[in-house]
Every structure is written in C-alpha cells, then in structure tokens.
C-alpha cells in the first residue's frame, strides 16, 4: 500500500470516527436530558474533563494528519533554530539552549507514549469489543505507528542531509567548549596559521637567503713595487687594491660565470672570489667593457652551489620594492641586505669611465649602496636580479641616491663577453674630448658660431679616421646630419645607430675651415672612442 492509499484510509477512518462520535454524543445527550437538569449542572462543573478531551483530540490530530512526516520536519527545524541560538548566544544562553534542545528531543520521543492515555480515556466509553470502536482504534494505531516510523526513519535518510547527526555532534562539541570555558576564566591563545604579514616577512627572508647564496665577494689584488729599507732595489708584492661584489648568473659543466662592474676588477693582477659558504678561490677574468662598466669572471663550477636568474627590468615602476645585496666596506660585512624602492627608471647619468664619458641608462633606488656594493645584485620581490648596483652620489647633504644598470641593458653585454671575450663596436679610431673640456687656446681658429662639438685628441694610425685624413685638433660637429654636443653623443650614435661596415659622413672644422669627411666603420673594442 503506498503513502497515498494510507492517507486515504486515514481520511476515511477520521470520517467514520467523527460519524460514530456524533452518534454517541447524540445518545449521551438524550440520556442526560432524561436524567434531568441536576446532571447538566454537574456536567458544567467539570471543565477539567472537557479540557482533557480537547487535548486528546489535538494530540490525535497531530499524529493522524494527512502527512504525518510533517511533524518530524517541524521538529528538525526546531532543532536547527535551537542550534543557531546556541552558536550565537553567550555561554549561559548556550547552556539554556542546549537544555531546550534536550527537552525538545524528550518531548518528541514522548509523543508516541502520549497516545496511550488517550486510548485509555477512549476505553472509558463503550468497550473495544464494540464494532463501532474497532475503526477508531485501528485508525489511532495506524497514526501512531506511521508517525513513529517517520520520526525514526527520516534521520537515517538524506531528506534532511544528516541534520540530526550533525546537530548532535555539534551540540556535544559546544557542550565541551562551554564546560572548558567555565572551568577556567583565562582566555588562552590558540596556535593558528601565520598571519599575512608574518607570511610575507618569512617569504622575504627566504627569498633573500636563497638569493644571497649566488652573491660573491671579489678582491682586486694588484702588484705593487716597494722599496725595502730605502735601498735602491725594489720588489713587487701583491696587495689588496679594493673589493666589490658579483653575482653568479650562469653555470655549465666546467665553469660558473660571475657578472660584476669593470671598475671592481680593473687593473687587477689576480682576483680572489669569496663564496657564500666561506670558501675562497681564484677567479679568471674573461673580459670587460669599460664603457658600460661591466665585466665577467669565471670560477670552477664545483664552487658554485647556486645561480640567480635575471628578471625583466622593463616591468619596473617607481614604488616597486627592491633589495640590494653586496659587500659594503669589504668582506667583513659580506652579503649585507638593504631594502628600498625604485625611485625612478630610465635615468640618464653621464659617467667618466676609463674609456671616456658615457651616458648610462640606470635605475634609481633609495636602497643603501656603499663602496663594496658595486657589482652586487638589485633584486625584486621574486628574487630575480633586475639590476647591478654600480653608482651612488656621495655629496654632503645627499642621501638615498643609488643607481643600478638595468638587467635588460647588461645581459647582451655579458653574454657577448662570454662568447667573444670583448664587446665589439663600430670604431672610428680617434680619441675625443668635448669642446667645453678643451682650453680656449686650442679653439682660436674656430668660428665664433661653433660652440659645440668634439675635438680629436689622438688618432690610431691604422684606423679608418687616419685613412680618411682626420688630424689631431680637428673638431667634429655632426655625424650623418646629427649635431653633436659632446663626445658622449658621438659614442652613443656610433653604438646605437650604426653597425660595423657602415659608411658615415662627418662635418669637421680643420684650421677654421669646414669640410666633410666620409669613412667606413671598422671594429676594435679596445678603442678609446
């Protein structure tokens, strides 16, 4: 028999019960009329019996309704609401709510037992052996059994998604917490996961520690002639001329390659490399480029435990966090870390190098950079090298002005040094000086209108300039129609606008006379221009 048929039988049973009840009430009413008014008065004075009959009827309707499982759903909703109150109220209120939940469960479990008194009260009327009452008791029994089965079965199904089990477990947990808190008035700290700031600080320290393993110290050792005891004989001794930093950026089966500044290794007779683990080894200079102030040194691969990678310096913006790692003031303070931000990008600073003036494109930062930091790494938050620390402005009252060569600018240079040992550039074959650097006595033959340009200070006899007829003290004012303000402008044009083998036209003043000279560019990385 399906649920619908059961409900239909319940409805028929209810109707049969109502009909029989009306018949009995009519019979009782007739009998009471025959007994007289004294019975009626006595009946009026018994209100408790009527209230009891109303309660029996209400309980019978609850368990014999058309959908008996509704009561269980209502009970579940009550349990959910009680649990929500437990979670939101304070300690005392949670205890009260827990008691209410227990009482609700007790009332629900007692619902079935409450039907037995109703049955007994029904037996005060005609005997159950009367056929008229058989349908009533069958209906009542079916309602009680159906409600009980529904109440017991639903918690074991997925209709309520295991709410009964979850509620019971959560109530038990809450009870244990309440008892725990009540037993001790102290609030104890709980061990939790690291906060965002702690996690960030930890990741920075990890990043710095990993990056530092690829930072080395470089000692420039040079031979120096000494006169012992003021005698005429002299001896050469090796002394430490200076120190700086470097980064291990490449490693193969035989060698590890270190990038640094040219001014760190310039003039060295030997190089001593100090590693992260304290080991020291000799470094061999592969090549250097004085104009860009870059150099590459190699060591045996077995000494290099870590390699650091380069990042994309073009993605930098003012305000980005950066860290400088190096050896300020020597190896005693090796792998010092300073923190700052990118103050500016694409700064242009003219630097007087051993190869002449050169306009550097640099990253400006307020991270502390001191003597000994040169050649060290400027790294981003990902632990990538985005620049090599090279310069700082050290004047009274000036702070936080450090500069680094961008990684995108230095990578082509160091790779070319590894491949060929030098940087190959177009070469004219002349030494240059800006007019503002030349004493006025050498400019007497120039027209008054010529105020800018570069003067030829020397000529390579085998160069293209010598073949084209250039002479010392000639003044070059333009190249391929581009005016020149100084020597750095000529170098910049040669190294960025033309290639080896190209022909260029120079406008030159010779003994006050203007002329045009055409020559073909050659290659010689050891040139002075």
Among 82, 147, 263, 478, the one annotated catalytic: 263
Helix (H) or strand (E) holding 516: strand 513-520
Paired tokens of 519? 């020559």
Among 334, 374, 407, 488, the one annotated catalytic: 374
Q: For residue 442, what are the β-bridge partners?
A: none
- The answer to whether 284 and 298 have CB atoms below 8 angstroms apart is yes
Say whether 211 is catalytic. no
Environment class of 130 (CB within 10 Å of its CB; exposed 0-12, middle 13-18, buried 19+): exposed
Say whether 102 is catalytic. no
CB atoms closer than 10 angstroms to residue 34: 7
Environment class of 45 (CB within 10 Å of its CB; exposed 0-12, middle 13-18, buried 19+): exposed
Of 313, 525, 280, the residue nearest 426 (C-alpha): 525
Say whether 293 is catalytic. yes
Pairing of strands 321-326, 336-353: antiparallel
Of 55, 108, 99, the residue nearest 77 (C-alpha): 108
Paired tokens of 95? 């205890």
Where does 86-135 show beta strands of DSSP type E? none
Number of residues that this document lists for the chain? 529
- The answer to whether 340 and 367 have CB atoms below 8 angstroms apart is yes
Q: Would you give the distance in Å from CA 252 to the centre of its chain? A: 31
Place of tokens 């037995």: 116
Where does 290-331 show beta strands of DSSP type E? 294-300, 321-326
* First vs last C-alpha separation in the chain: 107
- The answer to whether 367 and 338 have CB atoms below 8 angstroms apart is yes
d(CA 203, CA 208): 9
d(CA 474, CA 512): 9
CB atoms closer than 10 angstroms to residue 208: 16
d(CA 500, CA 464): 12
d(CA 519, CA 476): 13
Place of tokens 């406008």: 507
Of 446, 455, 491, 295, the residue nearest 374 (C-alpha): 295
Non-local (6+) Cβ contacts of 188 within 8 A are: none
Among 293, 409, 474, 489, the one annotated catalytic: 293
The set of catalytic residues is: 263, 293, 374
């Amino acid at each position: 028999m399906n649920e619908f048929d059961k409900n239909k039988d319940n409805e028929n049973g209810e109707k049969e019960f109502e009909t029989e009840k009306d018949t009995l009430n009519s019979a009782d009413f007739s009998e009471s009329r025959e007994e007289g008014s004294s019975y009626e008065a006595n009946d009026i004075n018994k209100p408790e019996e009527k209230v009891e009959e109303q309660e029996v009827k209400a309980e019978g309707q609850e368990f014999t309704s058309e959908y008996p499982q509704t009561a269980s759903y209502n009970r579940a909703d009550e349990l959910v609401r009680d649990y929500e109150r437990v979670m939101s109220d304070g300690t005392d209120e949670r205890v009260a709510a827990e008691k209410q939940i227990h009482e609700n469960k007790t009332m629900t479990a007692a619902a079935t037992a409450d039907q037995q008194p109703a049955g007994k009260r029904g037996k005060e009327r005609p005997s159950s052996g009367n056929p008229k009452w058989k349908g009533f008791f069958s209906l009542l029994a079916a309602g009680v059994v159906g409600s009980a089965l529904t109440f017991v079965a639903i918690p074991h199904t997925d209709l309520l998604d295991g709410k009964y089990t979850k509620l019971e477990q959560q109530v038990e947990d809450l009870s244990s917490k309440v008892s725990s808190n009540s037993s001790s008035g102290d609030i104890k700290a709980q061990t939790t996961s690291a906060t965002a700031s702690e996690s960030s600080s930890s990741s920075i320290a990890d990043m710095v520690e990993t990056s530092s393993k690829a930072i080395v110290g470089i000692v420039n050792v040079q031979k120096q002639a000494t006169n012992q005891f003021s005698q005429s004989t002299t001896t050469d001794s090796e002394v430490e001329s200076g120190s700086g930093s470097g980064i291990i950026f490449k490693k193969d089966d035989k060698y590890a390659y270190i990038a640094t500044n040219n001014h760190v290794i310039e003039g060295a007779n030997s190089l001593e490399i100090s590693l992260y683990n304290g080991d020291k080894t000799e470094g061999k200079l592969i090549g250097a480029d004085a104009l860009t102030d870059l150099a590459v040194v190699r060591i045996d691969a077995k000494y290099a435990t870590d390699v650091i990678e380069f990042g994309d310096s073009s993605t930098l913006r003012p305000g980005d966090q950066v860290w400088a790692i190096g050896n300020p003031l020597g190896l005693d303070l090796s792998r010092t870390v300073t923190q700052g931000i990118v103050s500016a990008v694409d700064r242009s600073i003219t630097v007087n190098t051993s190869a002449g003036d050169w306009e550097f494109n640099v990253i400006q930062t307020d991270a502390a950079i001191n003597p000994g930091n040169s050649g060290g790494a400027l790294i981003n938050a990902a632990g990538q090298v985005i620049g090599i620390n090279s310069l700082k402005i050290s004047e009274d009252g000036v702070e936080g002005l450090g500069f680094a060569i961008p990684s995108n600018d230095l990578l082509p240079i160091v790779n070319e040094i590894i491949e060929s040992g030098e940087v190959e550039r177009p070469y004219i074959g002349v030494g240059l000086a800006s007019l503002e650097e030349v004493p006025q006595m050498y400019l007497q033959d120039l027209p008054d209108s010529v105020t800018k340009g570069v003067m030829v200070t020397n000529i390579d006899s085998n160069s293209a300039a010598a073949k084209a007829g250039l002479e010392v003290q000639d003044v070059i004012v333009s190249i391929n129609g581009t005016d020149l303000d100084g020597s750095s402008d000529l170098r910049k044009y040669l190294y960025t606008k033309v290639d080896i083998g190209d022909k260029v036209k120079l406008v030159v003043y010779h003994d006050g006379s203007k002329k045009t000279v055409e020559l073909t560019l050659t290659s010689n990385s050891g040139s002075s221009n």
